[in-house]
Amino acid sequence: MNYNRTQDIVKKYGFRFTKSLGQNFLTDESVLEDIVSGASVDKDDFVIEIGPGVGALTRELLEKAKAVCAVEIDNTLIPILKEELKEFPNFTLINDDALKIDFNEIIKDEKSVKLVANLPYYVTTPIVVKLLKEKYPFKSITIMIQKEVAERMNASAGGKDYGALSLLVKYYCKTEIIRKVSPACFVPQPKVESSVIKLEILEKPAVNVVDEKLFFEVIKSAFSMRRKTLSNSLKNLKYPQDIILSALENCGIDSRRRAETLSIEEFAALSDEIARKVND
């Protein structure tokens, strides 16, 4: 679908963009093709798309996938999508909020499930957290998001982009940034650059931890004051300071280090040591 077709659909139906929904529709065909090829969509795949807009990416997916189920929150887009994609028997559409959906009700007994989306910037992190923490059986999640957020997801220890989001994604996925996308590829044009990133879901988490909830609590606390040392930032945890300091020492982690210097393995070891001390 080229720029003119997207524009034509918008004009044909008199569609008005809703700023609060972060609506920016893709108009560059090469980006659409790169998203679909980056997601490795084929005839065995059941694809879930969040935020289909007027169906530019949806159409590309429908031509490659076994079936596509699109989830769209904006009810004014529902009749447009139904009309524009009526030629595809493998298309289903749900008018709902992706943050409130139980995706297992859509997936049912499908064996090869992939999620592909051009996500609104404002809702990117909550959706990714939901998709990963609720452990849906996706093979991969390929999304176009704000470039800075993609860089945080893809970041390694020691860098300025490395943080709690990096570790959440690293725990569940292998990441690959497929390409950057300029504002000129959208209508209306956003004020920032975008990136397409693929999150390939690991068969098992990157590290083994005895208490997953505690593992993420330690990470959240450590990065709550990222310029502070661990001995200061980890005071936010509900455990006595002597337990925290002792756990750091037993793991060989200097309490004067900052959170951004710790690898996922070190966070796993630290949370396991805290769990052991608390349960002793």
Residues at the binding site for S-adenosyl-L-methionine are 24, 26, 51, 72, 97, 118
Q: CB within 8 A of 235, min separation 6: which ones?
A: 241, 244
For residue 251, give both structure tokens. 């793991």
- DSSP secondary structure string, 93-154? EEES-TTT--THHHHTT-SSEEEEEE--GGGHHHHHHHHHHTT--EEEEEEEEEHHHHHHHH
Cis peptide leading into residue 188 (ω within 30°): yes
CA distance 70 to 117: 9
Question: Is-contact 246 280, C-beta < 8 A?
Answer: no
Annotated binding site: 24, 26, 51, 72, 97, 118
**What is the β-pairing status of strands 173-181 and 91-95?**
unpaired
**CA distances to 32, 143, 244, 278 from 185, in Å:** 10, 15, 49, 53
CA distance 157 to 265: 11
CA distance 39 to 113: 11
Q: Is 102 exposed, middle or buried (0-12, 13-18, 19+ CB in 10 A)?
A: exposed
Quick one: how far is CA 7 from the chain centroid? Answer: 28
Please give the backbone phi and psi of residue 190, each rounded to the nearest 5 degrees, phi first. Answer: -75, 170
